[in-house]
Protein backbone atom coordinates (compact mmCIF):
# COMPACT_ATOMS: atom_id res chain seq x y z
CA UNK A 1 0.00 0.00 0.00
CA UNK A 2 2.58 2.51 1.11
CA UNK A 3 4.79 1.56 -1.80
CA UNK A 4 1.96 2.36 -4.17
CA UNK A 5 1.41 5.62 -2.42
CA UNK A 6 5.00 6.59 -2.86
CA UNK A 7 4.88 5.69 -6.52
CA UNK A 8 1.71 7.66 -6.94
CA UNK A 9 3.18 10.72 -5.24
CA UNK A 10 6.38 10.45 -7.21
CA UNK A 11 4.36 10.13 -10.36
CA UNK A 12 2.34 13.16 -9.44
CA UNK A 13 5.41 15.21 -8.77
CA UNK A 14 6.92 14.01 -12.01
CA UNK A 15 3.83 14.92 -13.91
CA UNK A 16 3.76 18.36 -12.40
CA UNK A 17 7.36 18.85 -13.37
CA UNK A 18 6.68 17.67 -16.88
CA UNK A 19 3.69 19.91 -17.24
CA UNK A 20 5.80 22.83 -16.10
CA UNK A 21 8.50 21.97 -18.61
CA UNK A 22 5.94 21.61 -21.34
CA UNK A 23 4.29 24.85 -20.39
CA UNK A 24 7.59 26.67 -20.55
CA UNK A 25 8.65 24.95 -23.72
CA UNK A 26 5.29 25.40 -25.38
CA UNK A 27 6.01 26.78 -28.73
CA UNK A 28 4.05 29.94 -29.18
CA UNK A 29 3.89 29.06 -32.86
CA UNK A 30 1.51 26.22 -32.18
CA UNK A 31 -2.15 26.56 -32.79
CA UNK A 32 -3.78 27.89 -29.68
CA UNK A 33 -6.49 25.43 -28.87
CA UNK A 34 -9.47 27.03 -27.24
CA UNK A 35 -11.25 24.38 -25.25
CA UNK A 36 -14.39 26.39 -24.80
CA UNK A 37 -15.31 29.84 -25.77
CA UNK A 38 -17.50 31.39 -23.08
CA UNK A 39 -17.19 35.00 -24.14
CA UNK A 40 -17.95 34.36 -27.77
CA UNK A 41 -14.47 35.50 -28.60
CA UNK A 42 -12.97 34.61 -31.95
CA UNK A 43 -10.48 31.81 -31.90
CA UNK A 44 -7.19 33.15 -33.03
CA UNK A 45 -5.48 31.10 -35.69
CA UNK A 46 -1.91 31.79 -34.83
CA UNK A 47 -0.22 29.14 -36.82
CA UNK A 48 -0.95 25.98 -38.73
CA UNK A 49 -0.57 22.73 -36.86
CA UNK A 50 2.86 21.22 -37.28
CA UNK A 51 1.72 17.78 -36.13
CA UNK A 52 0.19 15.09 -38.28
CA UNK A 53 -3.36 14.03 -37.55
CA UNK A 54 -3.88 10.66 -35.85
CA UNK A 55 -3.17 7.74 -38.13
CA UNK A 56 -0.11 9.44 -39.59
CA UNK A 57 3.53 9.71 -38.64
CA UNK A 58 5.66 12.70 -39.50
CA UNK A 59 8.77 11.79 -41.45
CA UNK A 60 12.00 13.71 -41.98
CA UNK A 61 10.59 15.43 -45.05
CA UNK A 62 7.76 16.95 -43.02
CA UNK A 63 5.32 14.53 -44.64
CA UNK A 64 2.54 12.68 -42.89
CA UNK A 65 2.75 8.99 -43.73
CA UNK A 66 -0.15 6.68 -42.95
CA UNK A 67 0.29 4.16 -40.13
CA UNK A 68 -2.32 1.56 -39.32
CA UNK A 69 -2.62 -2.02 -38.22
CA UNK A 70 -3.51 -3.20 -41.72
CA UNK A 71 0.06 -2.46 -42.68
CA UNK A 72 0.90 -5.74 -40.95
CA UNK A 73 -0.63 -7.63 -43.85
CA UNK A 74 0.04 -8.30 -47.50
CA UNK A 75 -2.48 -7.52 -50.12
CA UNK A 76 -2.97 -9.96 -53.02
CA UNK A 77 -1.76 -8.43 -56.26
CA UNK A 78 -1.48 -5.10 -54.46
CA UNK A 79 -5.17 -4.41 -54.89
CA UNK A 80 -6.22 -4.17 -51.25
CA UNK A 81 -9.07 -6.63 -51.53
CA UNK A 82 -9.38 -9.96 -49.77
CA UNK A 83 -10.34 -11.09 -46.32
CA UNK A 84 -9.93 -10.04 -42.74
CA UNK A 85 -6.16 -9.77 -42.61
CA UNK A 86 -5.49 -8.20 -45.97
CA UNK A 87 -3.59 -5.00 -46.58
CA UNK A 88 -5.43 -1.90 -47.75
CA UNK A 89 -5.29 -0.40 -51.23
CA UNK A 90 -2.52 2.09 -51.83
CA UNK A 91 -3.17 5.29 -49.90
CA UNK A 92 -2.69 8.85 -51.01
CA UNK A 93 -0.53 10.25 -48.21
CA UNK A 94 2.62 12.30 -47.77
CA UNK A 95 0.98 15.70 -47.33
CA UNK A 96 2.53 18.08 -44.82
CA UNK A 97 0.82 18.76 -41.50
CA UNK A 98 0.46 22.39 -42.54
CA UNK A 99 -1.26 21.50 -45.80
CA UNK A 100 -3.65 19.25 -43.92
CA UNK A 101 -4.43 21.93 -41.35
CA UNK A 102 -4.88 24.65 -43.94
CA UNK A 103 -7.17 22.26 -45.80
CA UNK A 104 -9.21 21.89 -42.66
CA UNK A 105 -9.84 25.65 -42.51
CA UNK A 106 -10.64 25.81 -46.21
CA UNK A 107 -12.94 22.82 -45.98
CA UNK A 108 -15.16 24.47 -43.40
CA UNK A 109 -14.95 28.02 -44.78
CA UNK A 110 -18.02 29.17 -46.72
CA UNK A 111 -15.85 31.75 -48.44
CA UNK A 112 -15.05 29.02 -50.94
CA UNK A 113 -18.55 29.24 -52.41
CA UNK A 114 -19.67 31.89 -54.83
CA UNK A 115 -22.37 33.14 -52.50
CA UNK A 116 -20.32 32.76 -49.33
CA UNK A 117 -22.91 30.50 -47.74
CA UNK A 118 -21.67 26.97 -48.43
CA UNK A 119 -18.51 25.18 -47.46
CA UNK A 120 -17.37 21.70 -48.38
CA UNK A 121 -18.53 20.79 -44.91
CA UNK A 122 -22.09 21.86 -45.69
CA UNK A 123 -22.59 18.59 -47.55
CA UNK A 124 -19.79 16.65 -45.86
CA UNK A 125 -20.55 17.15 -42.21
CA UNK A 126 -18.38 15.24 -39.73
CA UNK A 127 -21.43 14.75 -37.53
CA UNK A 128 -23.17 12.94 -40.38
CA UNK A 129 -20.35 10.68 -41.48
CA UNK A 130 -18.99 13.42 -43.72
CA UNK A 131 -22.24 13.28 -45.63
CA UNK A 132 -25.31 15.43 -45.12
CA UNK A 133 -28.23 13.25 -44.12
CA UNK A 134 -30.12 14.22 -47.27
CA UNK A 135 -31.41 11.86 -49.94
CA UNK A 136 -29.89 14.20 -52.46
CA UNK A 137 -27.86 17.20 -51.45
CA UNK A 138 -29.01 20.80 -51.41
CA UNK A 139 -26.94 23.02 -53.65
CA UNK A 140 -26.67 26.70 -54.41
CA UNK A 141 -29.87 28.68 -53.91
CA UNK A 142 -31.52 25.73 -52.11
CA UNK A 143 -31.49 23.74 -55.32
CA UNK A 144 -32.22 20.06 -54.81
CA UNK A 145 -29.42 18.14 -56.52
CA UNK A 146 -29.65 14.75 -58.22
CA UNK A 147 -27.35 12.65 -56.06
CA UNK A 148 -26.43 12.22 -52.43
CA UNK A 149 -23.17 13.43 -50.93
CA UNK A 150 -20.75 10.51 -50.57
CA UNK A 151 -18.95 10.09 -47.27
CA UNK A 152 -15.34 11.24 -47.22
CA UNK A 153 -14.08 8.72 -44.69
CA UNK A 154 -11.08 6.85 -46.09
CA UNK A 155 -11.32 8.74 -49.37
CA UNK A 156 -7.50 8.62 -49.54
CA UNK A 157 -7.80 4.98 -50.61
CA UNK A 158 -10.28 5.55 -53.43
CA UNK A 159 -9.33 5.53 -57.09
CA UNK A 160 -12.74 6.55 -58.38
CA UNK A 161 -14.52 9.62 -57.08
CA UNK A 162 -18.10 10.81 -57.52
CA UNK A 163 -20.92 8.28 -57.70
CA UNK A 164 -20.31 7.89 -61.41
CA UNK A 165 -16.54 7.61 -60.93
CA UNK A 166 -15.76 10.49 -63.25
CA UNK A 167 -12.79 11.81 -61.28
CA UNK A 168 -9.61 9.93 -60.46
CA UNK A 169 -8.07 12.39 -58.00
CA UNK A 170 -9.36 14.56 -55.20
CA UNK A 171 -7.99 17.62 -56.99
CA UNK A 172 -10.01 16.79 -60.06
CA UNK A 173 -13.06 15.90 -58.02
CA UNK A 174 -13.27 19.08 -55.93
CA UNK A 175 -13.42 21.31 -58.97
CA UNK A 176 -16.80 19.75 -59.68
CA UNK A 177 -18.68 21.10 -56.68
CA UNK A 178 -16.53 24.24 -56.31
CA UNK A 179 -17.27 25.54 -59.77
CA UNK A 180 -20.64 23.99 -60.50
CA UNK A 181 -23.40 26.54 -60.78
CA UNK A 182 -25.75 24.13 -59.00
CA UNK A 183 -23.38 23.51 -56.11
CA UNK A 184 -20.88 25.97 -54.64
CA UNK A 185 -21.30 28.28 -57.57
CA UNK A 186 -17.83 29.75 -57.60
CA UNK A 187 -15.39 30.37 -60.44
CA UNK A 188 -11.64 29.81 -60.36
CA UNK A 189 -10.96 33.54 -60.81
CA UNK A 190 -13.39 34.61 -58.19
CA UNK A 191 -12.11 32.04 -55.71
CA UNK A 192 -8.55 33.27 -56.13
CA UNK A 193 -9.54 36.91 -55.92
CA UNK A 194 -11.45 36.20 -52.72
CA UNK A 195 -8.69 34.22 -51.07
CA UNK A 196 -5.97 36.65 -52.08
CA UNK A 197 -8.02 39.40 -50.53
CA UNK A 198 -7.94 37.73 -47.12
CA UNK A 199 -4.78 38.53 -45.17
CA UNK A 200 -5.19 35.54 -42.91
CA UNK A 201 -5.22 33.14 -45.83
CA UNK A 202 -2.24 34.80 -47.49
CA UNK A 203 -0.30 34.28 -44.30
CA UNK A 204 -1.45 30.69 -43.81
CA UNK A 205 -0.75 29.70 -47.42
CA UNK A 206 2.79 31.02 -46.96
CA UNK A 207 3.13 28.69 -44.00
CA UNK A 208 1.74 25.70 -45.84
CA UNK A 209 3.79 26.40 -48.95
CA UNK A 210 7.07 27.77 -47.61
CA UNK A 211 8.67 27.84 -51.04
CA UNK A 212 6.37 30.73 -51.97
CA UNK A 213 7.62 34.29 -52.05
CA UNK A 214 5.81 36.56 -49.66
CA UNK A 215 4.57 38.69 -52.52
CA UNK A 216 3.19 35.77 -54.49
CA UNK A 217 -0.50 35.21 -54.74
CA UNK A 218 -2.36 32.11 -53.64
CA UNK A 219 -2.67 29.73 -56.59
CA UNK A 220 -5.39 27.22 -57.36
CA UNK A 221 -3.15 24.13 -57.16
CA UNK A 222 -2.31 25.16 -53.59
CA UNK A 223 -5.98 25.35 -52.72
CA UNK A 224 -6.58 21.93 -54.26
CA UNK A 225 -3.54 20.45 -52.59
CA UNK A 226 -4.63 21.64 -49.15
CA UNK A 227 -8.20 20.46 -49.52
CA UNK A 228 -6.98 17.10 -50.82
CA UNK A 229 -4.56 16.86 -47.90
CA UNK A 230 -7.31 17.39 -45.36
CA UNK A 231 -9.74 14.98 -47.00
CA UNK A 232 -7.04 12.34 -47.33
CA UNK A 233 -6.43 12.57 -43.60
CA UNK A 234 -9.89 11.24 -42.71
CA UNK A 235 -9.09 7.71 -41.62
CA UNK A 236 -11.51 5.28 -40.05
CA UNK A 237 -9.96 1.88 -39.41
CA UNK A 238 -10.60 1.25 -35.73
CA UNK A 239 -14.11 -0.12 -35.68
CA UNK A 240 -15.38 -3.12 -33.75
CA UNK A 241 -15.06 -5.05 -36.97
CA UNK A 242 -11.39 -4.10 -37.23
CA UNK A 243 -10.75 -5.40 -33.75
CA UNK A 244 -12.25 -8.70 -34.82
CA UNK A 245 -10.23 -8.69 -38.01
CA UNK A 246 -6.99 -8.18 -36.12
CA UNK A 247 -7.78 -11.23 -34.04
CA UNK A 248 -9.88 -10.13 -31.04
CA UNK A 249 -12.91 -12.28 -31.69
CA UNK A 250 -14.84 -11.03 -28.67
CA UNK A 251 -15.12 -7.65 -30.37
CA UNK A 252 -18.28 -8.83 -32.12
CA UNK A 253 -21.24 -10.37 -30.38
CA UNK A 254 -22.95 -13.49 -31.64
CA UNK A 255 -25.49 -11.62 -33.75
CA UNK A 256 -22.84 -9.46 -35.33
CA UNK A 257 -20.78 -12.53 -36.16
CA UNK A 258 -23.82 -14.14 -37.74
CA UNK A 259 -24.27 -10.96 -39.72
CA UNK A 260 -20.65 -11.04 -40.82
CA UNK A 261 -21.11 -14.58 -42.08
CA UNK A 262 -24.25 -13.63 -44.01
CA UNK A 263 -22.32 -10.66 -45.40
CA UNK A 264 -19.47 -12.76 -46.75
CA UNK A 265 -21.45 -15.84 -47.71
CA UNK A 266 -21.99 -16.47 -51.38
CA UNK A 267 -25.73 -16.41 -50.82
CA UNK A 268 -25.89 -12.71 -49.94
CA UNK A 269 -22.57 -11.97 -51.69
CA UNK A 270 -22.16 -8.53 -50.08
CA UNK A 271 -18.42 -9.01 -49.63
CA UNK A 272 -17.93 -9.79 -53.31
CA UNK A 273 -18.24 -6.08 -54.11
CA UNK A 274 -17.96 -4.52 -50.66
CA UNK A 275 -14.72 -6.39 -50.13
CA UNK A 276 -12.71 -6.00 -46.96
CA UNK A 277 -10.66 -4.34 -45.68
CA UNK A 278 -12.06 -1.17 -47.25
CA UNK A 279 -15.49 -2.70 -47.93
CA UNK A 280 -15.38 -1.75 -51.57
CA UNK A 281 -13.58 -3.35 -54.49
CA UNK A 282 -13.68 0.07 -56.21
CA UNK A 283 -15.43 -1.19 -59.33
CA UNK A 284 -18.59 -0.08 -61.07
CA UNK A 285 -21.75 -2.10 -60.58
CA UNK A 286 -25.22 -1.91 -62.03
CA UNK A 287 -27.59 -3.03 -59.35
CA UNK A 288 -30.80 -1.35 -60.49
CA UNK A 289 -31.88 0.53 -57.39
CA UNK A 290 -35.02 2.61 -57.63
CA UNK A 291 -34.90 6.40 -57.81
CA UNK A 292 -36.96 8.33 -55.29
CA UNK A 293 -40.45 9.16 -56.52
CA UNK A 294 -40.61 11.29 -59.58
CA UNK A 295 -36.95 11.16 -60.52
CA UNK A 296 -35.98 9.57 -63.84
CA UNK A 297 -33.39 6.80 -63.96
CA UNK A 298 -29.92 8.14 -63.30
CA UNK A 299 -27.69 6.85 -66.12
CA UNK A 300 -24.66 6.90 -63.79
CA UNK A 301 -21.32 5.97 -65.32
CA UNK A 302 -22.83 5.63 -68.78
CA UNK A 303 -22.37 9.36 -69.26
CA UNK A 304 -18.73 10.01 -68.30
CA UNK A 305 -17.58 6.67 -69.69
CA UNK A 306 -19.60 7.17 -72.87
CA UNK A 307 -20.54 3.51 -72.71
CA UNK A 308 -24.09 2.24 -72.97
CA UNK A 309 -23.20 -0.99 -71.21
CA UNK A 310 -22.59 1.09 -68.08
CA UNK A 311 -26.06 2.57 -67.99
CA UNK A 312 -27.16 2.71 -64.37
CA UNK A 313 -23.66 1.83 -63.12
CA UNK A 314 -22.29 3.46 -59.99
CA UNK A 315 -19.08 3.23 -58.05
CA UNK A 316 -19.35 0.65 -55.29
CA UNK A 317 -19.11 2.72 -52.10
CA UNK A 318 -17.14 1.75 -49.03
CA UNK A 319 -19.36 0.68 -46.15
CA UNK A 320 -17.17 2.05 -43.40
CA UNK A 321 -19.21 4.35 -41.16
CA UNK A 322 -22.26 3.44 -43.23
CA UNK A 323 -24.40 3.63 -40.11
CA UNK A 324 -23.80 7.38 -40.08
CA UNK A 325 -24.65 8.21 -43.67
CA UNK A 326 -28.35 7.50 -44.13
CA UNK A 327 -30.23 7.69 -46.44
CA UNK A 328 -28.66 5.21 -48.83
CA UNK A 329 -27.86 4.66 -52.50
CA UNK A 330 -26.91 7.34 -55.01
CA UNK A 331 -30.17 9.20 -54.68
CA UNK A 332 -31.03 8.22 -51.13
CA UNK A 333 -34.07 6.13 -51.87
CA UNK A 334 -33.64 3.96 -48.78
CA UNK A 335 -33.99 5.61 -45.41
CA UNK A 336 -32.56 2.81 -43.32
CA UNK A 337 -29.93 0.13 -43.56
CA UNK A 338 -32.67 -2.46 -43.18
CA UNK A 339 -34.48 -1.20 -46.27
CA UNK A 340 -31.18 -1.09 -48.10
CA UNK A 341 -30.17 -4.67 -47.43
CA UNK A 342 -33.69 -5.80 -48.21
CA UNK A 343 -33.37 -4.36 -51.71
CA UNK A 344 -30.88 -7.10 -52.54
CA UNK A 345 -33.29 -9.91 -51.82
CA UNK A 346 -36.30 -8.51 -53.62
CA UNK A 347 -35.40 -9.99 -56.97
CA UNK A 348 -32.91 -9.30 -59.71
CA UNK A 349 -33.88 -6.12 -61.53
CA UNK A 350 -37.18 -5.74 -59.67
CA UNK A 351 -36.92 -1.95 -59.58
CA UNK A 352 -35.67 -1.34 -63.12
CA UNK A 353 -38.09 1.01 -64.89
CA UNK A 354 -40.02 -0.36 -67.81
CA UNK A 355 -38.27 0.02 -71.11
CA UNK A 356 -34.83 0.04 -69.52
CA UNK A 357 -32.55 -2.85 -70.32
CA UNK A 358 -29.79 -2.62 -67.73
CA UNK A 359 -26.93 -5.10 -67.62
CA UNK A 360 -27.58 -5.94 -63.99
CA UNK A 361 -24.54 -7.18 -62.10
CA UNK A 362 -24.27 -10.97 -61.88
CA UNK A 363 -24.10 -10.89 -58.11
CA UNK A 364 -27.57 -9.41 -57.95
CA UNK A 365 -29.74 -12.47 -57.78
CA UNK A 366 -32.42 -14.00 -55.60
CA UNK A 367 -30.67 -14.93 -52.38
CA UNK A 368 -33.96 -15.32 -50.48
CA UNK A 369 -32.53 -13.89 -47.29
CA UNK A 370 -34.77 -14.25 -44.29
CA UNK A 371 -35.89 -11.34 -42.15
CA UNK A 372 -33.60 -12.67 -39.46
CA UNK A 373 -30.64 -12.61 -41.81
CA UNK A 374 -31.44 -9.06 -42.92
CA UNK A 375 -31.49 -7.95 -39.29
CA UNK A 376 -28.13 -9.59 -38.71
CA UNK A 377 -26.68 -7.87 -41.76
CA UNK A 378 -27.69 -4.54 -40.27
CA UNK A 379 -26.10 -5.56 -36.97
CA UNK A 380 -22.88 -6.30 -38.79
CA UNK A 381 -22.89 -3.09 -40.83
CA UNK A 382 -23.06 -1.14 -37.60
CA UNK A 383 -19.81 -2.71 -36.47
CA UNK A 384 -18.05 -0.79 -39.24
CA UNK A 385 -18.45 2.47 -37.38
CA UNK A 386 -15.38 4.30 -36.13
CA UNK A 387 -15.12 8.03 -35.74
CA UNK A 388 -12.27 8.19 -33.26
CA UNK A 389 -10.10 10.20 -35.65
CA UNK A 390 -12.75 12.83 -36.38
CA UNK A 391 -10.93 16.13 -36.89
CA UNK A 392 -11.80 19.31 -35.03
CA UNK A 393 -14.16 21.65 -36.77
CA UNK A 394 -12.62 25.13 -36.55
CA UNK A 395 -14.63 27.52 -34.41
CA UNK A 396 -13.67 30.36 -36.65
CA UNK A 397 -12.37 30.35 -40.16
CA UNK A 398 -9.81 32.73 -41.71
CA UNK A 399 -12.41 34.55 -43.80
CA UNK A 400 -14.21 35.62 -40.66
CA UNK A 401 -17.47 34.21 -42.01
CA UNK A 402 -19.69 32.10 -39.83
CA UNK A 403 -18.63 28.47 -40.32
CA UNK A 404 -21.45 26.60 -41.99
CA UNK A 405 -20.95 23.67 -39.65
CA UNK A 406 -20.89 24.10 -35.93
CA UNK A 407 -18.22 22.32 -33.94
CA UNK A 408 -19.42 19.20 -32.22
CA UNK A 409 -19.05 19.32 -28.49
CA UNK A 410 -17.39 16.13 -27.41
Partner 1 sequence: MKSTLSKIIVAVALLVIGVFVGKSFFSSNASEAVPIPSGLTYRNVGHTADAGKAISPRAFEGQIIEVKNGGSIQEAVESASPGDLIRVYPGTYSENVYIDKSDISLQGVVINGDWPTLDGKKEINDAFLYSGDGILIENFKIVNYKGNAIMGQSGNNFVIRNNWIIDTGVYGIFPQHGKNGLIEHNVLSVIADAAIYVGMCDNVDVLHNEVFDNVAGIEIENSRHCLVENNYTHNNTGGILAFVTPGLPIKTTFDVIIRNNFVVDNNHVNFGAPGSTVAGIPKGTGILIMAADEVIVENNIITGNDNSGITIVDLANGDPKANDPNVEGNPDRLVILDNIMYNNGNETSGELKAIMLTQLDTKGPDIFAFGGGVGSTIRDKNKYRTFGLGDYGAAQISNTKDVVTMMTPEPVAPRFVSKEQLGELTYYGVCAGCHAFGTRLIGVPTEFIQMIHKDNPQGIVDYINAPKNLREDYPEMPPQNYLSEEAKMAVAEYILAYDAGLE
Single out the residue of 106, 152, 204, 286 in contact with partner 1 (rule: CB under 8 A).
286
90 makes contact with partner 1 (CB under 8 A): no
Stretch that binds partner 1, among 98-106, 122-130, 199-207, 353-361 (CB under 8 A): 353-361
Stretch that binds partner 1, among 67-75, 144-152, 319-327, 336-344 (CB under 8 A): 67-75
288 makes contact with partner 1 (CB under 8 A): no
62 makes contact with partner 1 (CB under 8 A): no
Contacts of partner 1 in 185-244 (CB under 8 A): 237-238, 243-244
Single out the residue of 76, 197, 221, 371 in contact with partner 1 (rule: CB under 8 A).
76
Closest CB to partner 1 among residues 85, 134: 85
Count of positions on this chain that bind partner 1 (CB under 8 A): 73
For the question of residue 258 being annotated catalytic, the response is: no
Closest CB to partner 1 among residues 75, 134: 75
Residue 57 beta carbon to partner 1: minimum distance, rounded to whole angstroms: 5
Closest CB to partner 1 among residues 206, 251: 251
Closest CB to partner 1 among residues 222, 379: 379
Q: Say if residues 66 and 91 touch (Cβ distance below 8 Å).
A: yes
345 makes contact with partner 1 (CB under 8 A): no
Contacts of partner 1 in 290-329 (CB under 8 A): 305, 307, 309-310, 313
Residue 193 beta carbon to partner 1: minimum distance, rounded to whole angstroms: 36
Residue of 35, 43, 172, 183 marked active site: 183
Pairing status of strand 56-58 against strand 64-66: antiparallel
| d(C-alpha 358, C-alpha 184), whole Å | 33
Question: Which residues are registered as beta bridge partners of 315?
Answer: 284
Stretch that binds partner 1, among 48-56, 168-176, 202-210, 318-326 (CB under 8 A): 48-56
15 makes contact with partner 1 (CB under 8 A): yes
Closest CB to partner 1 among residues 8, 188: 8
Q: Could you count the other beta carbons within 10 Å of the beta carbon of residue 103?
A: 27
Single out the residue of 47, 62, 68, 175 in contact with partner 1 (rule: CB under 8 A).
68
146 makes contact with partner 1 (CB under 8 A): no
Contacts of partner 1 in 362-401 (CB under 8 A): 362, 364-366, 388-389
Stretch that binds partner 1, among 100-108, 262-270, 325-333, 398-406 (CB under 8 A): 262-270
Single out the residue of 220, 265, 351, 395 in contact with partner 1 (rule: CB under 8 A).
265
Residue 241 beta carbon to partner 1: minimum distance, rounded to whole angstroms: 11
Residues marked active site are found at 183
Amino acid sequence: MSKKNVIFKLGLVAMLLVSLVIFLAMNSNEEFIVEDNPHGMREEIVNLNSRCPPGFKLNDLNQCKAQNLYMQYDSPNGMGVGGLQTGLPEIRDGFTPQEIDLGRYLFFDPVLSGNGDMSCGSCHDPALGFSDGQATSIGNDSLKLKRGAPSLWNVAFLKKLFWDGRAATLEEQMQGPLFSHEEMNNTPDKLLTTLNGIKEYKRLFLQAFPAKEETENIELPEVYQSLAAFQASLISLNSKYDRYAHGFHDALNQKEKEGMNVFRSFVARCAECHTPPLFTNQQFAIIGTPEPNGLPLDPGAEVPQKDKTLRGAFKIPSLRNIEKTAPYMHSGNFKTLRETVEFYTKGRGHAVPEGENLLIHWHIWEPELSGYELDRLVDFLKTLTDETFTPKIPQTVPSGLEPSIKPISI
